Amino acid sequence: MKDIPWDLYQLFLIVARRKGLAGAAAETGLSPPTLGRKILALEEMAGESYFHRAQTGYTLTPRGQALYSELQEMEAAARKLRYHYAEGHAPVRLRIGAGTWNTAFMIAHIQTLCTDVDPFYLDFHAGEERTRLAHRETDIGFRAFEPEEANLAIQKLPPTAYAIYKARGARVPDHRWVAVHGTNALSTYLKWPHQNRADDIVFTVNRAAEMRDLIVAGAGLGVLPCICGDREPGLERVQPLPALQHDQWLVMNSEDRHRPEIRTVINRIIKLFRANADLISGRRG
């Protein structure tokens, strides 16, 4: 295994985290067939099978899980060394893990989070899965519940509210709904239509952003966080869903929270979200 190129291990990590080729392709820019061939090459070189393959995605075999754990530790050590040697020299790249709509909100306010003179760059990773920080996969993350891990530091943000939306001015029948299809409905708000209006779902997509686009196009009703729906001029609220509201926390590794660049970004994110608490908590609509 010592002769296996490190770039194959890096692709293995991305496929494992994204649980399949489609998500990994979006992150790497490589096509799913190319990624599939590279993962097969890794397994052939190692003489081991690392993934169970199915239409719903890739899951790790026991040997794959063991390799994943080892590579996470190596990656964390490498990231720590990069931070140490980059300090005072090249800009540091900070990875921020957040849900689709928190990421979109931060990107819309990118000038307040990172300026031309800051000694760091930002690397956004959007997704509905829980942000991982145990091995420094992410520098700053968002959680919808208070973390229990002892090695994490936390900062509370305004609570997140949700509502049912439709295209502004459109006459959308109550029996026409859009949703992210079940295998990708990882968040509570994405599961809500399947649990409450399953027989009325007319259109499904694989990502939350495309679901928003369907609602804007007048295809049907859908559930969105107010941080998205109330900012979108093509949408209007139909009904709030207070039962879905939840607290949220900004999380980071305890050892890293005092690093100047991480502290700077954390303070800016907190200021941005608290200044827009009415929007995030659904009090603007």
> Are residues 131 and 121 both part of a single domain?
yes
Q: Is 70 exceeded by the pLDDT of residue 86?
A: no
Q: Is residue 78 part of a domain?
A: no
Write the DSSP assignment of 228-264 as a string of letters: HHTT-TTEEEEEE-GGG-EEEEEEEETTTTTSHHHHH
pLDDT level of residue 124 (50, 70, 90 thresholds): very high
> Are residues 201 and 175 both part of a single domain?
yes
Which 3 state secondary structure label does DSSP give 170?
coil
> Are residues 267 and 224 both part of a single domain?
no
CATH code at position 41: 1.10.10.10
Q: Is residue 219 part of a domain?
A: yes
pLDDT level of residue 242 (50, 70, 90 thresholds): very high
> Are residues 51 and 11 both part of a single domain?
yes
* Tokens at 14, concatenated: 């991305």
The count of structural domains within the chain is 3
Pick the closest to residue 166 from 228, 229, 241 (CA basis).
Answer: 229
Q: Is residue 113 part of a domain?
A: yes
CATH code at position 119: 3.40.190.10
Q: Is residue 79 part of a domain?
A: no
Structural domain including 198 reads 162-244
**pTM reported for the whole predicted model:** 0.70
* pLDDT of res. 2: 54
> Are residues 262 and 228 both part of a single domain?
no
* pLDDT of res. 138: 82
Contact 140, 269 (CB under 8 A): yes
For 138-192, what is each residue's pLDDT tens digit? 889 998 888 777 778 889 999 999 999 999 999 999 999 999 998 889 899 999 9
* Alpha-helical segments (H) within the chain: 6-18, 21-28, 32-46, 62-86, 100-108, 110-113, 188-196, 208-216, 226-229, 260-275, 277-280
| Sign of CA pseudo-dihedral 96, 284, 184, 26 | negative
Q: Is residue 75 part of a domain?
A: no
For 196-241, what is each residue's pLDDT tens digit? 999 999 999 999 999 999 999 999 999 999 999 999 999 999 999 9
Question: In the predicted model, what is the mean pLDDT of residues 244-259?
Answer: 87
Q: Is residue 136 part of a domain?
A: yes
Question: Across the strands, what pairs with 96?
Answer: 124, 140
* pLDDT of res. 82: 58
Question: In the predicted model, what is the mean pLDDT of residues 80-109?
Answer: 79
Question: In the predicted model, what is the mean pLDDT of residues 104-125?
Answer: 91
Mean confidence (pLDDT) of the chain: 88
For 31-75, what is each residue's pLDDT tens digit? 889 999 999 999 999 989 999 998 888 999 999 999 988 887 777
Q: Is residue 197 part of a domain?
A: yes
